[in-house]
A = this chain, B = another copy of it.
Amino acid sequence: MKRALFAVLTFGFVLTFGGGATAQSVDPLPSWNNGKAKESIIEFVVKVTKKDSPDFVPPNERIATFDNDGTLWAEQPMYFQLLFALDRVKALASQHPEWKEKEPFASLLKGDVKGALAGGEHAMLDIVMATHAGMTTEEFEKLVKDWIAIAKHPKTARPYTQMVYQPMLEVLDYLRGQGFKTFIVSGGGIEFMRPWVEKVYGIPPEQVVGSSIKTRFEIRNGKSILVRLSELNFIDDKEGKPIGINSRIGRRPIAAFGNSDGDLQMLQWTTAGKGARFALFVHHTDAEREWAYDRNSSIGRLDKGLDEAQANGWTVVDMKKDWKVIYPPAKR
């Protein structure tokens, strides 16, 4: 195995002996610079997939979980789901004349996002409920699909689905090629992710765990529907992540990928299992190609997580040094 790793680092190719019967000589992570982070991923995968390895894990137990915001796609200048909500507030404003006088909507409609969010969690919840509830699940799915198809990022002008990290797409593909089942475990809304993640990440809707609001079953005009209610169901963040993983997946992951303190408990839960385990934080260190933030950021704060990663020998990706590219080539 060490020989294979040496080959990766020296010649840029790797021998893997995992899911397939034949050795491959293709670098599974071409957008990663050679170094500790890349080496640690490949070393782990080889270790758990090689048949005669003492750390071999059968395919049905090869569960890998990924945070979404800041781990699979960007999360600056704010969570993309919040940008969706702001666009929805604008679209709905004509139906809500009262919003002109009512915070947080009044500030939002004047373009003062900071002022609107000064109301903290309560303001955020008002915005989410006003834009994410009150319609059927099918109607909401269509709103998300329509938005994600045309909305552009304020800084890069890329569609949001092209603000995903190419090196992480390669990790997803690599793991699946080695018999892993890949899941998203995100603090973001589950119904905001499901309409597009299968196409973008190759992760089907049934492998998405996220935050959610409640729904009500109704028969309307003889047809059964689910109506989205203004009531929180589950917050899939921090302690919520292992709880959500246990509830939704029912199996402890053997590998977990995150980027913030909101992912810390998921990494703790994952690595507390028996046998070989893998934990990785994406550290946003690239102010030029992406963003640089960690201990003091209000979005995606990585503080305790950095300390625990060091103490436990988890992998920390230095985005600037470890990634050859950030985003996939632009598509039209």
What's the nearest-Cβ distance from chain B to residue A52, in Å?
24
The residue in chain B whose Cβ has the minimal distance to the Cβ of A194 is B250
Q: Is A174 located at the chain interface by the 8 A CB criterion?
A: no
Q: State whether A233 touches B247 (Cβ < 8 A).
A: yes
Known A-B contacts A181-B206, A242-B224; the reply to A190 vs B268 at CB < 8 A is no
Contact of A190 among B191, B212, B217, B250 (CB under 8 A): B250
The prevalent SS among residues of A at the interface is: mixed
Q: State whether A217 touches B242 (Cβ < 8 A).
A: yes
Q: State whether A247 touches B206 (Cβ < 8 A).
A: no
Complex Cα–Cα for A204 and B249 (A): 9
Q: State whether B251 touches A205 (Cβ < 8 A).
A: yes
Q: State whether A247 touches B190 (Cβ < 8 A).
A: yes
Contact of A224 among B206, B223, B265 (CB under 8 A): B265
Q: A190-215, CB under 8 A of B: which get 1 and which 0?
A: 11001000100000111110001011
Q: State whether B215 touches A250 (Cβ < 8 A).
A: no
Contact of A269 among B224, B243, B246 (CB under 8 A): B224
Query: A251: which B residues are within 8 A, CB to CB?
Result: 204-206
Complex Cα–Cα for A271 and B137 (A): 16
Q: State whether A205 touches B250 (Cβ < 8 A).
A: yes
Q: State whether B243 touches A226 (Cβ < 8 A).
A: yes
Complex Cα–Cα for A249 and B181 (A): 15
Q: Is A10 located at the chain interface by the 8 A CB criterion?
A: no
* Copies per assembly: 2
Q: Which residues of A in the span 158-217 have a Cβ within 8 Å of any Cβ on B? A: 181, 183, 190-191, 194, 198, 204-208, 212, 214-217
Q: State whether A217 touches B243 (Cβ < 8 A).
A: yes
Contact of A204 among B60, B208, B215 (CB under 8 A): B60
Q: Is A272 located at the chain interface by the 8 A CB criterion?
A: yes
Complex Cα–Cα for A276 and B137 (A): 20
Query: A304: which B residues are within 8 A, CB to CB?
Result: none
Q: Is A239 located at the chain interface by the 8 A CB criterion?
A: yes
Query: A191: which B residues are within 8 A, CB to CB?
Result: 250
From A219, A226, A265, residue with most partner B Cβ within 10 Å: A226
The residue in chain B whose Cβ has the minimal distance to the Cβ of A222 is B272
Q: State whether A206 touches B246 (Cβ < 8 A).
A: no
Complex Cα–Cα for A60 and B190 (A): 18
Q: Which residues of A in the span 108-151 have a Cβ within 8 Å of any Cβ on B? A: 137
Q: Is A90 located at the chain interface by the 8 A CB criterion?
A: no
Query: A248: which B residues are within 8 A, CB to CB?
Result: 206, 248
Complex Cα–Cα for A101 and B133 (A): 48
The residue in chain B whose Cβ has the minimal distance to the Cβ of A206 is B249
Q: State whether A247 touches B212 (Cβ < 8 A).
A: yes
Q: State whether A242 touches B226 (Cβ < 8 A).
A: yes
The residue in chain B whose Cβ has the minimal distance to the Cβ of A225 is B272
Q: State whether A249 touches B60 (Cβ < 8 A).
A: no
| Smallest CB-CB A-B distances: 9 pairs | A205-B250, A217-B239, A224-B268, A206-B249, A224-B272, A194-B250, A224-B269, A205-B251, A217-B242
Could you list 19 examples of A-B contacts with CB < 8 Å? A137-B246, A194-B250, A205-B249, A206-B248, A206-B249, A208-B250, A212-B247, A214-B243, A215-B243, A216-B239, A217-B239, A217-B243, A217-B265, A217-B269, A223-B272, A224-B242, A225-B272, A226-B269, A248-B248
